[in-house]
């Protein structure tokens, strides 16, 4: 038997389900309290270490898989979202 998790709408958090390829923003990856790169969607989800870089270090069509890979490979401790929309 598994627990059922209900999404809770809060201004300080965003659900991964709300982030689609049409999402206008960035996901910043942190190792401890230091930002080490960002995730953005182009043809698929990509992780970049430099803001002006076109070199994708890791990419995946599935955002959840990419986040898991980053936590494992780069020891990412948390993610923060910058949303560029005015909703």
Per residue in 64-87, pLDDT tens? 999 999 999 999 999 999 988 865
Most confident by average pLDDT, 5-9, 53-57, 77-81: 77-81
How many distinct structural domains can be found in the chain? 1
In a domain, 67, yes or no: yes
pTM above 0.85, yes or no: no
CA atoms of 54 and 35, how far apart (whole Å) = 18
**Range of 33's domain?**
16-83
In a domain, 48, yes or no: yes
DSSP class of residue 81 equals E
- Percent of the residues in the chain that have a pLDDT greater than 90, as a whole number: 48
């Amino acid at each position: 038997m598994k627990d059922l998790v209900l999404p809770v709408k809060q201004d300080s958090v965003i659900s991964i389900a709300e982030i689609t390829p049409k999402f206008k923003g960035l996901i910043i990856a942190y190792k401890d309290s230091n930002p080490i790169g960002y995730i953005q969607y182009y043809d698929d989800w990509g992780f970049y270490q430099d803001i002006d870089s076109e070199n994708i270090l890791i990419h995946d069509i599935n955002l959840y898989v990419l986040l898991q890979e980053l936590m494992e490979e780069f020891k990412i401790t948390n993610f923060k979202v910058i949303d560029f929309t005015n909703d």
